[in-house]
Chains A and B, each alone.
Chain A
Amino acid sequence: MQFTFTYIPVINKIQTLKISSIIALLFLINNAKAQQGISGIHGNFQTDIQYYNPDSAINAPAVPEKVLANSFLNLVYSSENFSAGIRYESFLNALQGYDQRYKGNGFFYRYASYTKDDLEVTAGNFYDQFGYGLIFRSYQEWGLGYDNAMDGIRVKFKPHDGVYLKGLVAKQRSFFDYGPGLVRGADGEFNINEIFTSLAEKKTKIILGGSFISKFQADNDPIYKLPENVSAYAGRLNLSRGNFNLGGEFAYKINDPSSVNNFIYKNGQALFLTAAYTQKGFGATLAVKRIDNMNFRSDRTAIITNLSLNFLPATTKSQTYLLANIYPYATQPNGEMGGQAEVFYNFRPESKLGGKYGTNISLNYSRVNSIDTVALDDERGYESDFLKLGDETFFQEINVEINKKFSKDFKLILTYINQIYNIDVVQGLVGHGTVYDHIGIAEINYKFNAKHSMRIELQHLYAEQDAKNWAVVLAEYNIAPHWFVAAFDEYNYGNDDKDLRIHYFSGSLGYTKGVTRIAAGYGKQRQGLLCVGGVCRQVPASNGYTLSITSSF
């Protein structure tokens, strides 16, 4: 009788029990009809295990457990109109670099969902997004330890062609617990050309959308009178005609004093606009963004990535190369104004600049500044002129990439990047100032035969105001379809402090068969997005041995 469930040392045990028995029941019921229609069990699995060496030179601390591991198994049952799923997660204990509140294991994600007569009902956990996400986006990035899954009821309804309605009432996940806030929301999307059949053939396509989110959190503060119900609204528009596409969203939030905005009683606004033109061989985009006091969480005291309700996209290029990730930009929710322009062009094969196999170029320019603010003496904190750009530069990047194929087997990619990076603002530090860096990268791809190929990357970064010179040499050898071996050395050879001229060396070996992939490695790693042997993943700073397995079925 004395059952102890040491493997679920987290709250909400009872709820987990109830839900899993309900799911079991549903499985049983559905099993009766399993032979008809399209039903089945599927899922996926991943484990990342690391053995840690203490390494004071790179600030990798001693790990008392020596070995840490993050794993999950997703199990989904689906038939034509019904699906249910559970996810087992285990952080024994959480890998370095992940929030240490991920500790322990259990089923913390489970849902059941059915669709009938254009109505879709989900009970339990779900991820969703309203429009561009400026007031609501719930999502998961396992590799980053980011999971703000909702837990509650969501209903989607399509009353008419081109009309998509959504409503939800839920709490939000915070590690192995829930945040204190209640979240209520609704969204409507209207595809004008689908609603009015007379407009179906029109060249101009219009989609309109509107959304609303309200969160409730009790005010237990002994001094301040805090708003308990905070609502946010957003409207969006998407207009396309032929090769043109114009889209945008504007969001407004009532005053929402929080830890992130230093408890000021000011409303918040966000605007995100994009325009794109594209035709065969050519594409261009322009994005403009303004954010003013738009930190929005279901708990006013939550910080970093915890309990975020909205998503404020960074209008800067997503980097893949190691050195381009030393100074990565992150959106400043308290206020920023910026834009991005991108051009892609393909010089066709057999053309003058294209050569025999064609040449690809892409140009990217992005810039982010502060918003212009005037401090106020009252509880609102400051006021800001909507159209005025602030004086302080947070980030700027010029990025040029040329992708040239010389023969069927030989390809070269050259990249030049020039960045301005305000360390103090972006990383929340003091006294580091702004860095002006130059990065040059050459990537060589060579295919020996149908199975053997090699990839070499040579990278260099120069940052006068920070750690000066960095160089990277990376070599990767692939034997299709199963094997890869890779090694790289990231060397801060120009650091003023001789003790910090560190070689971040790393080597890895991997085996892939279908959807199963096993990779083992040893190395010192700086935090960043790492792309080796065919996949990309975020890795935290560490020194040690790693083993990771992923598969699905």
Chain B
Amino acid sequence: MKKIFPVSIFLCIITLYNCYAQEKKLNIIPSVNIKKINGSTINTDSITNDGKPLIISFWATWCKPCVMELNAIADNYKDWQKETGVKLVALSIDDTRTSPSVGPFVNGKGWDYEVYLDPNGDLKRAMNVNMVPHTFLLNGKREIVDQHTSFAPGDEEQLFEKIKKVAAGQPLDK
């Protein structure tokens, strides 16, 4: 009985390796139900940006660096949109304690983002988010081309350089 364990682990690794080696495709947004600010349910499949770049930023109202990042992007958001057509989706992981304030908080900051709630952490887990902020950049095919965690002022400019490349259909250097 006990031998099954290492055997199965081994099989797992082999199979994982196979998948990995064969698949050069990029991950797309997993299909998960999340909530709109008004409480209605929506599937992530409907998050798109008509073939233009998309940013998904996991954040919370109590997370200072998250708010710094979203503020920094908000300062340039109109210019970014004009230049690249990019759209930012702000995905709040606030729980019941703070989720009722998410809508008012966003408007109080004057942000123009599309905002959703992930109160049960389903999307957070599906996208392997350890902690916030965690920001994903997706291309027009909704494939994840870049991601980063944490925020330092200036990171937003690096992000914009990447958005411009993605918008122009160029590859990102790793």
Contacts and interface: CB of A to CB of B under 8 A. Distances in A.
Interface of A: 3, 5, 13-14, 16-18, 20-21, 23-25, 27-28, 31, 34-35, 38-44, 46, 74-78, 80, 83, 115, 127-129, 132-133, 137, 139-140, 143, 164, 189, 191, 193-194, 205, 207, 238, 240, 245, 247, 272, 274, 276-285, 287, 311, 313-315, 318-320, 342-346, 348, 358, 360, 362, 445, 447, 449-453, 478-481, 484, 510, 512, 514-515, 517, 529, 531, 533-537, 550-553
Contacts, number: 264
A500 to B, nearest CB: 29
Contacts of B96: 132-133, 137, 272, 311, 313
Given A282-B107, A550-B149, A451 B30 contact: no
B64 interface: yes
A235 B155 CA distance: 44
B101 A285 contact: yes
B156 to A, nearest CB: 9
Interface residues of B, number: 74
A536 B131 contact: yes
Contacts of A16: 5
B107 A514 contact: no
B63 A480 contact: no
B170 interface: no
B154 interface: yes
Given A280-B110, A480-B155, A481-B152, A531 B120 contact: no
Given A515-B149, A536-B62, A40 B8 contact: no
B169 interface: no
Contacts of B22: 34-35
A526 B4 CA distance: 45
7 contacts: A41-B19, A245-B103, A247-B100, A360-B108, A360-B110, A480-B155, A536-B65
A362 B62 CA distance: 13
A207 B15 contact: no
B100 A285 contact: yes
Which of B119, B147, B153 is the most central at the interface, judged by chain A CB atoms within 10 Å of its CB?
Answer: B153
Contact of B65 (A43, A132, A282, A534): A534
B38 A205 contact: yes
A472 B159 CA distance: 33
Contact of A43 (B8, B128, B134, B154): B128
B23 A35 contact: yes
A529 to B, nearest CB: 8
B82 interface: no
Contacts of B31: 80, 115
Nearest to A18: B4
B154 A453 contact: yes
Nearest to A237: B39
A318 B61 contact: yes
B130 A552 contact: yes
A318 B23 contact: no
Interface in B72-123: 95-98, 100-101, 103-110, 119-122
Contact of A40 (B19, B40, B146): B19
B153 to A, nearest CB: 4
Q: Which 9 residue pairs are nearest across A and B when measured between Cβ atoms?
A: A344-B108, A283-B104, A534-B150, A480-B154, A318-B62, A478-B152, A313-B97, A21-B8, A453-B153
Contacts of A344: 104-105, 107-109
Nearest to A479: B152
Given A39-B23, A278-B106, 7 more contacts: A78-B126, A189-B41, A193-B40, A247-B100, A319-B62, A535-B65, A536-B132
Contact of B158 (A280, A480, A537): A480
A458 B164 CA distance: 38
A139 B128 contact: no
Contacts of A13: 2
B120 A139 contact: yes
B154 A517 contact: no
A39 B149 contact: no
A348 B110 CA distance: 8
A182 B65 CA distance: 41
A308 to B, nearest CB: 13
A27 B4 contact: no
A345 B4 CA distance: 61
A21 B7 contact: yes
A354 B130 CA distance: 36
Contacts of B167: none
Contacts of B65: 531, 534-536
A21 B25 CA distance: 27
B33 to A, nearest CB: 8
A23 B148 CA distance: 30
Contacts of B28: 38
B168 interface: no
Contacts of A358: 110
A129 B120 contact: yes
B30 to A, nearest CB: 6
